[in-house]
Amino acid sequence: MGAALAALMMTTPALAGAADDLKLPREHIDLVAPPFVHPHEQATKAGPKIVEFKLTVQEKEVVIDDAGTKMWAMTYNGSMPGPMMVVHEGDYVELTLVNPETNTMPHNIDLHAATGGLGGGALTHVNPGEQTVLRFKATRPGVFIYHCAPEGMIPWHVVSGMHGTLMVLPRDGLKDGAGKSLHYDKVFYIGENDLYVPKDENGKYKTYDSVGESYSDTMDVMRKLIPTHEVFEGRVGALTGKNALTAKVGETVLIVHSEANSDTRPHLIGGHGDYVWETGKFNNPPERDLETWFVRGGSAGAALYTFREPGVYAYVNHNLIEAVELGATAHIKVEGKWNEDLMKQISPPSPIPPAKIGAADPVAVTR
Amino acid sequence: MLLLMKVKTAMLAGALAAPVVAAALAPSPPSPGPVSATLLASTSFTYRAAGDFSRGGRPVEGPLRELRLPTDLRIMKRQVTVAEYGRCVDEGACPRVAVPSGAQDVPVVGVSWHDASAYAAWISHKTGITYRLPTDEEWTFAAAEKARDEALPLVDPADPAQAWIARYEAESSRERPSATTPQPGGTFGTNSKGLDDLAGNVWEWTDSCFVRTSLDEKKETVTNVNCGVRIVEGAHRTYMTDFIRDPKSGGCAQGVPPTNLGFRLVVEPSWSVIASTVRGIAKLLRGT
């Protein structure tokens, strides 16, 4: 049977994975690196199609902070997180997973949006020098993570960077709880990652000649559950300064936030979540006007927000120790005209005026 | 007023005599060894006033001034090293700080303003020469071409976000020093005044306090002085809470943090002890 299958595949080498049993139109999408997302329709009148994506696994050494700390990352398409794939409910995702010969380890992919086969993990084990094609139907609208899940080494591959997000949009687009359509001008795709980099006896971060050599020490740090870095897009400061995200007053952004391992609590300092799908699944009505939302480890959430005031916004994991000390901070530079109705500095910092005689002593009142 | 003039004259006379007096009073080097200090002749220099300034309740840049120190400045050629600071620690006069690399001949960093001040007091006691942290004006004068004026472009004062974004972009565009750990003295070059490693990868404590000043047509009014926050100088000027040893950027802040906090000291000319006494008396007299 196996030989027969192999022979059959040999006869159609150019069409590997191009199963035409569905008789549906096909679309091939070139993925883009986070925090950006490939062009897509927010709602579609077209019928279901087969959407082709390709993810290539890259094992590589990366720098994860401004001090130059290095770690061996495992990635989909070279980025942490892996790129976001966007389809519509009812579409078929046809994913080619490539593990180039230059890698050292077997990899696979478990897509939380997929049904059966360990999310695809059971059918996609590829050794270096192999590739595989998996097709699954996107039956549930929402943002879902995907991650590597090789037997015995799942958490290590995940916290080394092998995770990403698939967004399945309702065919008629996003809605508020009352059925009104919601739109966004752009998507900010934030992939949060807890990192566990081993240190030497002097407290300096260690480096390794290969990903394999880093395994045992890294596992020791991981088992203590305290990350050395908590980052967006694979590096402390990846989305700040010259790489800060940008928007304009009046623009609406969909912030998709994934964390494949530990819990996080996104918060936009100076803004809100106008509509938030905290659990990331679009068949549930979005919550309104949130201050902070909770993204469970192993899931993605989505928040829609229209900027009303210009300035620099910090988008953080509101475990502020993780945000400020460990790195889970992004900045959004918003251009536009200041709205004094929303905020105005009535009196800049200046000396406290002397107390008026006869005025109530506030201390006395609280006593 | 007349008295004040007299004090100024006294200071001027002191300034002229200062180098000679300082040299004459310097005792033979005791155990901590001589500190290599360079004497800089006082000349005029451009100085951007430090602190927060406002005009009509709106933030503005500090005024740019032509200054001249009242006297020549004797300042350490290099930052205080791990080894030098270590002797103060060994004698129990300075708090022990972490020395990650173990190198002894590099600037001591990870020190707070209090640590730096403790060192200045200790070495003054050991040598009989009065050392202290420089003022921000003194540091800027000594740094000469290495001092950075980061004045921002004028923006619509009615729109706080514009100034905010401009500052963010200025901070984001700062270059990061290539070496992150302290380097041996001289690594970052010598400036036109013969001093080493100014504005390298170490930021230096000054003794100047954070001030808030309001400007109007005729006068400047200092509305607040916070000496819990001191001015720190290096590749850029910043303000630092005095007990911080290892600042970071992160959260809402952006750009290169003054990661390595160290210091160099100036020698207080002995005449100025007299001068400050005179100033103190003058103040007392004015107070009455």
Q: How much is the average pLDDT of B105-120?
A: 96
* Confidence band, pLDDT 50/70/90 cuts, at residue B26: very low
What is residue B154's predicted lDDT score, i.e. its pLDDT? 66
CB contact under 8 A, A323 and B251: yes
Q: A24-74 pLDDT, tens per residue? A: 999 999 999 999 999 999 999 999 999 999 999 999 999 999 889 999 999
**Partner-chain residue, chosen from B52, B173, B254, that has the shortest CB–CB distance to A331:** B254
Provide the Cα torsion A41, A43, A48, A50; round to 10°. 20
Confidence of residue B31 (pLDDT cuts 50, 70, 90): very low
Nearest CA in chain B to A267: B251
Write the Ramachandran bin of A152: left for phi over 0, alpha for psi from -120 to 50, otherwise beta. Answer: left
Contact pairs from chain A to chain B, CB under 8 Å:
79
Provide the angle, in degrees to the nearest 10, between the axes of the packed helices B113-127 and B82-90: 80
Provide the CATH topology of domain A191-335: Immunoglobulin-like (2.60.40)
- Asked if A345's CB is within 8 angstroms of B165's CB, the reply is no
- Residue B57 pLDDT > 90: no
User: Measured between CA atoms, how close is B126 to chain A, in angstroms?
Assistant: 33
Q: How many percent of chain A have pLDDT more than 90? A: 86
Cross-chain residue pair B172–A320, CB shorter than 8 Å? no
Neighbours of B249 (CB within 10 A): 20
From A242, A333, A351, residue closest to B165, measured CB to CB: A333
- Residue B171 contacts A where some CB pair is shorter than 8 Å: yes
pLDDT for residue B2 is more than 60: no
User: A1-30 pLDDT, tens per residue?
Assistant: 344 444 444 444 444 445 678 999 999 999
So where are chain A's domains? Answer: 23-171, 191-335
Taking all residues of chain A, what is their mean pLDDT, rounded to a whole number? 92
Interface of A with B (CB under 8 A): 66-68, 202-204, 236-237, 240-242, 244, 269, 309-312, 314, 316, 320, 323-325, 327, 329, 331, 333-338, 345, 347-351
Query: Could you tell me the pLDDT band of residue B89, with boundaries at 50, 70 and 90?
Result: very high
Lowest mean pLDDT segment, chosen from A71-80, B6-15, B38-47: B6-15
Residues in chain A with CB shorter than 8 Å from the CB of B159 are 310, 337-338
What is the rounded average pLDDT of the residues B197-203?
Answer: 93
Q: What is the mean pLDDT of residues B117-128?
A: 96
Pairing state of beta strands A245-248 and A329-335?
parallel
Contacts of A237 in chain B (CB under 8 A): 249
> Which residue numbers of A are catalytic?
107, 110, 112, 147-148, 157, 162, 267, 291-292, 318
- Please name the helix (run of DSSP H) or strand (run of DSSP E) that holds residue B48, with its range, or none: strand B44-48
Nearest by CB to B168, from A204, A237, A312: name it: A312
Residues from chain A that touch B55, judged by Cβ atoms under 8 A, are none
User: What angle, rounded to 10 degrees, do the helices at B2-25 and B270-287 form?
Assistant: 160
Is it the case that residue B118 has pLDDT exceeding 80? yes
Q: Is there a shared CATH topology between the A23-171 domain and the A191-335 domain?
A: yes
pTM of the model: 0.83
pLDDT, one tens digit per residue, over A342-353 is 999 888 888 888
Tokens at residue A63, please?
């720098």
The pLDDT assigned to B80 comes to: 97
Query: Is residue B7 predicted with pLDDT exceeding 60?
Result: no
The tens digit of pLDDT for each residue in B206-236 reads: 999 999 999 988 889 999 999 999 999 998 8
| Residue A67, strand partner residues | none
What is the reported pLDDT for B249?
63
- The residue in chain B having the minimum alpha-carbon distance to the alpha carbon of residue A236 is B250
Which pLDDT score, from 0 to 100, does residue B9 have? 36
Mutate to test the interface with B, among A313, A324, A346, A347 (most CBs of B within 10 A): A324
The reported pLDDT for the residue numbered B164 is 84
pLDDT at residue B157, as a whole number: 67
Between B46-50, B80-84, B97-101, B226-230, the lowest mean confidence (pLDDT) is in B97-101
Write the class of the CATH domain A23-171: mainly beta
Residue B233 burial class via C-beta count within 10 angstroms: exposed 0-12, middle 13-18, buried 19 and up:
buried
User: Chain B: nearest CA to A204, how far in angstroms?
Assistant: 8
Option in B161, B162, B172 nearest A242 (CB): B172
| pLDDT above 60 for B70 | yes
Question: Which residues 192-221 of chain B have a CB within 8 Å of chain A?
Answer: 212, 214
Interface with A, mutate which of B172, B178, B256 (most A CBs under 10 A): B172
Please state the rounded mean pLDDT for residues B187-212: 95
For position B255, what pLDDT does the model report?
A: 62
What per-residue confidence (pLDDT) applies to B251?
58
Predicted local confidence at residue A322, as pLDDT? 96
Give residue-wise pLDDT tens across range A161-213: 999 999 999 999 999 999 999 999 999 999 999 999 999 998 899 999 999 99
B224 forms bridges with which residues in the sheet?
A: B212
Report CB contact under 8 Å: A311, B160.
Answer: yes
Instruction: Please report which confidence band the pLDDT of residue B20 belongs to, taking 50, 70 and 90 as the band edges.
Output: very low
**Predicted local confidence at residue B169, as pLDDT:** 86
Q: Which of the residues A246, A329, A346 would you substitute to probe the B interface, choosing the one with the greatest number of B C-beta atoms within 10 Å? A: A329
Contact B223 A323 (CB under 8 A): no
Q: Which residues have CB under 8 Å from B36's CB, separation 6+?
A: B76, B77, B78
- Judged against a pLDDT cut of 70, whether residue B10 lies above it is answered with no
Neighbours of A126 (CB within 10 A): 19
Q: Give the integer Cα–Cα distance in Å for A75 and B210.
A: 47
> How high is the pLDDT of residue A181?
98
CB B61 within 8 A of CB B92: no
User: Domain B2-287's class?
Assistant: alpha beta
Residues of B in contact with A323 (CB under 8 A): 250-251
Better pLDDT: B103 or B257: B103
**Chain B contacts of A342, Cβ < 8 Å?**
none
The predicted model gives B113-121 an average pLDDT of 97
The answer on pLDDT for B145 being more than 50 is yes
Q: Are B11 and B70 in contact (CB under 8 A)?
A: yes
| Interstrand relation of B37-40 and A163-169 (parallel, antiparallel or unpaired) | unpaired
Q: CA-based angle A323:A326:A327, to the nearest 5?
A: 60
* Interface ipTM: 0.78
Compare all CA atoms of chain A with the CA of B254 and give the residue at the minimum distance. A241
Half-sphere exposure of B22 (CA within 13 A, CB side): 24
